[in-house]
Chain A
């Protein structure tokens, strides 16, 4: 055990910090769930890509820097510390990217990864259907083989970023006689294809953060099949592992949020009457630290050839419930001032960002598999409790 950064890691941190200091926009960008904000975030992805910072863990051939996981954590720490914009292409770079790297053909990697890292192609997710939510194996959206094409019919829902994105990846039933997790395949579909209709859904904050997607005889070439036909479930589980685990929710996000929470507490401590607030502020900070330590431990283990198993479900529960507690505590500090939406002219201290984060935090225990499903996974696959 050696919990010090090497001189190379320190130098890498310094390089990231310097680059971000001169490139992060001085004003926060509009939400990427607005048309203008989406475009601004795409530009930011292009800026990152121009500096080769788009996806640092990827091989150089695909626009990356071949960084290891410790460097990835350092990059993320600096990224959040600098207050850099959210990653509009997170579905692509954090979820589909690693899946392509593992299951894609060389031609598919060359076709999709560079455009993903550069922000030229931004991805939406297509898992859930109206009758396949927590029970994802109930998927009915069909992709029927017809010559060198698949013909897709059906509906997806809760597709994050789909309103403005360029592509969607999702799980489709390629064997019409199959049931449950058999006969599913992972297929990549351009949202500009004929027969695709995207209907925005307003989220709790009023913005169209996700959408329904309708497929009406949509044709895509067989080239767009990722992995073997019928192996979709297994591939989707790998993607879900990335989503629950360290790629999508690196600890830096919570470290930064809890540092801001400590600052907020200090700035308002004389107005706070509830003595339990201080305890909750400190608890949030310590839990973010615990999440960080756990992630460094996992990264160290992976670097030595270990693997992530069902304990990724612990991650999902821990960070999503921590995120809620952080924002609930912030609103308890702000009291009646916390009600005001971000961007309100009277909100000169930009306190509204806490409200924004509070609303978003409501979704954490639901998406990527609800926390109830995660607790079932932990009980059955980590602890070995009976399934029925």
Chain B
């Protein structure tokens, strides 16, 4: 039993987080809003050089051979700067799905070149799961892995129709995607297709949960700063207990959401039979704290918090968008209710970590 991240995992996170903190500022995010692509190509190059896009590919394929536990720290770091680019989704959702397809001998030889392309930055892949009505940054993807029913389809960009949808979050570039689920593009179906889609839904939920934690941290630190700088009645507004408690409540929830997300990252790799439950718990806990963080951050900023100029909107709007992606509250609550309230649920203390104990 060791519920800690290793020094190496934290070090790698710190390296990437350091780059993100320098490069992804409120100004650089606002600059993206007026560009067509919405991305920062120079940053992509730097991330690529750090190996972030090779992270979850096995060493046998030329990747770094890391797992969701390593990646979840990076996804949180992406949230902590409100990174607009879908780095976390590419790394944690698309990459493992490609590997899963390849390992099952599916995809007719198309997968290996795509994996190589992702790792050297030439190829862009996104996953369109049926639970999400829109795809983010679809315009510049080369391949879309799209689900329909229990079928999984690998579609080149020119085989789909994109219709733009304007997100409340100016950093996001949404499109609805229409495609013909034809045999030509079909990678898997039936039980295998359903299993692949289910696994990617769990990875998607985990990825979003980790980003929501980071976004909450960002809002707390922006808010603390503001309550130190802004004076009323001759003292900083943050000296008022009522203001302190708004942010302390976020800190408490964050403290208890973090280990839930870490447990989900561990579970998707090690006890996939419990992943639905662990991921749904993580998504719910992270959404709850993030929604609170967005609300309290605006409140402590006063009228400034309600302006376009105030940077609180960057993380707050991301939170309002991501809260419903990869399964909304209703979806995840239903999975947990089904699991917990079934007559044969195993609820003893020996089951907390998903392995049946030697006793009982």
Contact = CB atoms under 8 A, between A and B. Distances in A.
Asked if chains A and B come from one complex, the reply is yes
Interface of A: 1-7, 9-11, 13-14, 17, 70, 74, 77-78, 80-81, 252, 255, 259, 262, 265-266, 278-279, 282, 285-287, 289-294, 296-297, 299-301, 303-304, 311, 314, 317-318, 372, 374-376, 378-380, 382-388
B272 to A, nearest CB: 14
B302 interface: no
Nearest to A304: B4
A77 B349 contact: yes
Interface string B270-290: 100000000001001100000
A224 B280 CA distance: 53
A222 B227 CA distance: 48
Contacts of B224: 383-385
B4 A286 contact: no
A81 B350 CA distance: 10
B263 to A, nearest CB: 5
15 contacts: A7-B358, A13-B358, A77-B349, A81-B348, A282-B337, A285-B340, A293-B259, A294-B255, A314-B251, A317-B248, A318-B252, A379-B247, A385-B238, A386-B227, A388-B239
B236 interface: yes
Interface string B336-351: 1100110101011110
B236 A14 contact: no
A290 B347 contact: no
A307 to B, nearest CB: 14
A383 B220 contact: yes
Nearest to A5: B1
Contacts, number: 170
B83 to A, nearest CB: 23
B228 interface: yes
B306 interface: no
B245 interface: yes
B69 interface: yes
Given A290-B260, A317-B252, A386-B228, A3 B270 contact: yes
Contact of A259 (B5, B220, B241, B347): B347
A383 B226 CA distance: 12
B149 to A, nearest CB: 29
Contacts of A279: 333
B200 to A, nearest CB: 22
Contacts of A266: 341, 343
B3 A296 contact: yes
Given A13-B359, A282-B333, A386-B238, A4 B1 contact: yes
For A265, A279, A296, the residue with the greatest tally of chain B CB atoms inside 10 Å of its CB is A296
A10 to B, nearest CB: 4
Interface string B225-269: 001100000011011010111011101100111111011001100
Closest 4 CB pairs between A and B?
A379-B244, A77-B349, A293-B259, A375-B248
Contacts of A2: 1-2
Contact of B349 (A81, A376, A387): A81
Contacts of A301: 4
Contacts of A382: 251
A379 B227 CA distance: 11
B41 interface: no
Interface in B108-128: none
B331 interface: no
A14 B358 contact: yes
Contacts of B256: 287, 290-291, 294, 314, 318
A262 B359 contact: no
A286 B285 contact: yes
Contact of B1 (A70, A289, A290): A70
B352 interface: yes
Contact of A289 (B238, B266, B267, B352): B352
Contact of A293 (B239, B245, B263): B263
A301 B1 CA distance: 11
A275 B337 CA distance: 13
B352 to A, nearest CB: 6
Given A6-B1, A77-B350, A376-B244, 6 more contacts: A5-B350, A70-B1, A317-B252, A376-B248, A379-B248, A386-B235
Contacts of B263: 3, 293
B355 interface: yes
A58 to B, nearest CB: 21
A262 B340 contact: yes
Nearest to A11: B358
B1 A9 contact: yes
A292 B348 CA distance: 13
B23 to A, nearest CB: 25
Contacts of B3: 1, 3, 293, 296-297, 299-300
B353 interface: yes
